[in-house]
Amino acid sequence: MKTNGSPDWYQIQALYPVNREMIWLNNCGTTPCNTETIHWVEEYLRGYAAHGGQTNVRRYATVKRAIRSILADLLGCSPEELSLIHHTNEGMNFLSLGLSLQEGDQILLLENEYPSNIYPWEHWKEKGVEISFVPMSETPEGFLENLKNSVTARTRLVSLSAVHWCTGMPFPLEEIGAFLDSKGIEFVLDGAQGVGLLPIRPKEMKISYMAFPAWKWLLGPLGLGVLYVAKEKLNTLRFPFKGTGSVINDEAYLPYREELKGTDRYEISTANFIDWVYFQSTLEMLSGIGFHNSMERIYELADYLSDGLREAGWKLASDHFPDFKTGIVVAEKPGVSSEDTVNELKKKGIMCALRLGRVRFSPHIYISKEQLDRVLDLLEG
């Protein structure tokens, strides 16, 4: 998919049948499938149909190793610190139920956060742990100050998103991590809107734990996610959901075992292996393109769309943080109903989202500037 070392974006666009039907600008929500992935999945299913679990097409251990290896390179961590789970919400519940907090401790969460990073923490209120919220800001610098002002002597844990799902604003993760680390506060990250879009390196950013889904910027399947637990933190977590797949040598069912695997202990039992095959396909495509190239292309498309929207009189959330790259374009136009705009675009086959009264667009690498021009023409009309 590269021409003279550069990605061939038109070749990538041709892999996505959705481009023949609509313009999909909700990639920080869900992402459609491409024809190469369909081929991978079909090949596996044909092998499974012919040979069942004995098929040599996409073997379990090989696929798992490939996925963890690519993600480890992307995140700058060890493959053994990653587990393939179902979604962010599941990962946050694993972490919340595994952490040790005391009555009177405080958890800080993000104001207007996505529910996957709110509900898993609520059970702590019944145990006398206070849950408080860091006020939002229109700028990353302002949010960092809000966070510093929200931390108290009782703060034990802060759980944030990498990017605000309603505004597209990235948070200054490195600065946040350094500050929390200096205070001895655990840093948990919801990487849903960030992994694959931003260069997130948990070790450098002092992130102890992170969960994220496959189906956003990594172009993977619905119902598959990833949990990161820093190696030095793993055995400090209680493990409430032990299953067949949690123990070493799990294919030998007897005698029962006490010794747990590494972070993949959270792969409790039989996985949806078709999703793994799907995910390996998209990760290998993105790795082949180069994650940096993919990120830069998303920024390029987002900037192109942003420039066009400004010319058409739209106000952008990203104008408050011009020095921070984002692939999520959130806009509103005075006198124009954002809800009506989203509905009208949907009728014309353009998929975006309504968030906090504004229109949210999120292009990915298979989108072309010509498609964005068609969107802008409609918004100007």
Specify the 3-state DSSP secondary structure of 261. Answer: coil
CA dist 258 and 247 (Å) reads 7
Q: Other C-beta atoms within 10 Å of 349: how many?
A: 12
Q: What one-letter code names the amino acid at 171?
A: F
The per-residue pLDDT for 346 is 97
Question: Would you give per-residue pLDDT tens digits along the chain (381 residues)?
Answer: 654 568 999 999 999 999 999 999 999 999 999 999 999 999 999 999 999 999 999 999 999 999 999 999 999 999 999 999 999 999 999 999 999 999 999 999 999 999 999 999 999 999 999 999 999 999 999 999 999 999 999 999 999 999 999 999 999 999 999 999 999 999 999 999 999 999 999 999 999 999 999 999 999 999 999 999 999 999 999 998 999 999 999 989 999 999 999 999 999 999 999 999 999 999 999 999 999 999 999 999 999 999 999 999 999 999 999 999 999 999 999 999 999 999 999 999 999 999 999 999 999 999 999 999 999 999 986
| 9-33+290-378 and 48-287 in the same fold | no
The Cα–Cα gap between 158 and 175 comes to 14
How many DSSP H helices and E strands does the chain contain? 10, 15
Asked if 291 and 74 count as a contact pair (C-beta separation under 8 A), the reply is yes
C-alpha 312/C-alpha 182 separation (Å) is 46
* CATH 3.90.1150.10 fits domain 9-33+290-378: yes
Q: Which residues pair with 39 in a beta bridge?
A: none
Distance of CA 42 to CAs 97, 134, 220, 223, 274, Å?
Answer: 38, 46, 16, 19, 10
- Single-letter amino acid, residue 276: W
The CA–CA distances, whole Å, from 234 to 90, 98, 188 equal 17, 10, 13
Contact yes or no for 279/285 (Cβ under 8 A): no
> Sign (positive/negative) of CA torsion 140, 141, 143, 148?
positive
- Please tell me the distance from the alpha carbon of residue 72 to that of residue 18, in angstroms, as a whole number: 30
The pLDDT value recorded for residue 6 is 83
Strands 23-24, 350-351: pairing is parallel
pLDDT digits (tens, 9 = 90+) for 21-60: 999 999 999 999 999 999 999 999 999 999 999 999 999 9
- What is the spatial distance between Cα 25 and Cα 31, in angstroms, rounded to a whole number? 9
Structure confidence by residue, pLDDT tens digits, 282-291: 999 999 999 9
Q: What is the CATH number of domain 48-287?
A: 3.40.640.10
Domain boundaries, the chain: 9-33+290-378, 48-287
342, 317 contact by CB (below 8 A): no
Pairing of strands 209-213, 186-190: parallel
Q: What angle do CA 185, 191, 194 make, to 5 degrees?
A: 125
Predicted structure pTM score: 0.95
Identify the pLDDT of residue 381.
Answer: 66
Distances (CA, A) of 262 to 98, 187, 259, 279, 367: 15, 20, 10, 21, 39
The DSSP bridge partners found for residue 24 are 351
